[in-house]
């Protein structure tokens, strides 16, 4: 039943792809609060208010699936990125609390403080996810016992920081495109259109540099799939930049680039989960890091039942809250 190992690798890829697409524009919206008035910030926050917490469930589900299907991978990954994940969790807690508390008092200073927490809680996870994904590709000092032998600072290099910057710019571009679909104020839309174009081309440049560095730092470009992913990502992101200011095609393009980047990363890893930079045979794979076949079978049955229910529910949520946000929607809040 080794095919179940591959099935769960694919499912985890799908979960992370969904997470980066959905939570990616949430992070982007949070970062785009910078430099805006309190009334404008309220409209932007209102745009993601009904969905941001549901989007985060994808991360929890992906982590839970990794824990159940590939427990050795989960244990090694969380010990490797322990401090980074702690910082990410701290940022996400601040962000979640900020969404709930910013409207409790009318004090401008109160709202400004919690808006700052949303910005911080959006920027830090976006940066750290990029750093983490690049480290998975580059390889980590993992020994024969599946133990990480490096330090937190070993995770930081020009290559991984470049990946973090790319994720920040891509998510900001994705968030601007999402807001173009959700905001009614024409003045805000014009500003978002201008910023989307700048962010899009900046993300395109960062992606081109990141993929160029990937040819040196990893073995991704040794395979036709890596070259195809590079070409597709560059092309689709360039198209997204050309469509900047046109809500639907630009949002479709940034969604596609996010999906291409995430799927490409997992395709490049397969069948590995974490690459050992010490010895290739010490890498964690979908075989040596997996749960028992019986566990995978039970999980597969459960996933076939509950995943469609979750997808239907989330799709229904987006349909219910599909209307654009106006200034009147946030007056008095």
- CA atoms of 74 and 114, how far apart (whole Å): 33
Query: What is the chain's pLDDT, residue by residue, as a tens digit (333 residues)?
Result: 678 999 999 999 999 999 999 999 999 999 999 988 888 999 999 999 888 888 888 998 898 899 999 999 999 998 899 999 999 999 999 999 999 898 888 888 899 999 999 999 999 999 999 999 999 989 999 999 999 998 888 899 999 999 999 999 999 999 999 999 999 989 999 999 999 999 999 999 999 999 889 988 888 777 777 778 888 888 999 998 888 878 889 999 999 999 999 998 898 888 899 999 999 899 999 999 999 999 999 999 998 998 898 889 888 988 888 888 887 777 654
Cβ atoms of 92 and 125 within 8 Å: the answer is yes
Burial of 158 from C-beta contacts in 10 A (0-12 / 13-18 / 19+): exposed
User: At 149, is the secondary structure helix, strand, or coil?
Assistant: coil
pTM: 0.93
Rg of the chain (C-alpha set): 20
């Amino acid at each position: 039943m080794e095919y179940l190992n591959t099935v769960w690798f694919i499912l985890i890829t799908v979960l992370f792809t969904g997470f980066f697409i959905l939570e990616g524009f949430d992070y982007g919206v949070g970062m785009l609060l910078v430099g805006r008035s309190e009334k404008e910030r309220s409209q932007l926050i209102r745009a993601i208010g009904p969905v941001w917490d549901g989007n985060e469930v994808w991360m929890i589900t992906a982590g839970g699936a990794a824990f159940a299907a590939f427990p050795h991978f989960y244990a090694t990954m969380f010990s490797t990125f322990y401090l980074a994940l702690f910082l990410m969790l701290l940022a996400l807690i601040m962000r979640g609390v900020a969404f709930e508390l910013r409207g409790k008092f009318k004090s401008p200073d109160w709202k400004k403080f919690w808006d700052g927490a949303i910005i911080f809680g959006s920027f830090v996870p976006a940066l750290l996810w990029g750093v983490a994904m690049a480290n998975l590709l580059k390889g980590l000092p993992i020994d024969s016992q599946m133990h990480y032998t490096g330090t937190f600072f070993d995770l930081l290099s020009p290559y991984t920081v470049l990946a973090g910057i790319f994720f920040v710019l891509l998510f900001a571009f994705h968030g601007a495109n999402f807001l173009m679909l959700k905001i009614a104020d024409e003045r805000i839309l014009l500003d978002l259109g201008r910023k989307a174009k700048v962010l899009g081309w900046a993300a395109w440049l960062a992606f081109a540099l990141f993929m160029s560095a990937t040819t040196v730092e990893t073995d991704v470009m040794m395979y036709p799939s890596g070259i195809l992913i590079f070409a597709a990502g560059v092309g689709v992101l360039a198209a997204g930049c050309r469509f900047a200011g046109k809500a639907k095609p630009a949002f479709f393009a940034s969604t596609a680039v996010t999906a291409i980047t995430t799927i490409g990363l997992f395709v490049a890893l397969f069948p590995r989960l974490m690459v050992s930079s010490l010895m290739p045979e010490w890498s964690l794979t979908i075989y040596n890091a997996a749960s028992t076949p019986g566990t995978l079978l039970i999980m597969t049955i459960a996933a076939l039942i509950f995943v469609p229910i979750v997808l239907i529910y989330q799709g229904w949520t987006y349909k219910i809250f599909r209307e654009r946000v106006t200034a009147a929607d946030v007056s008095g809040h």
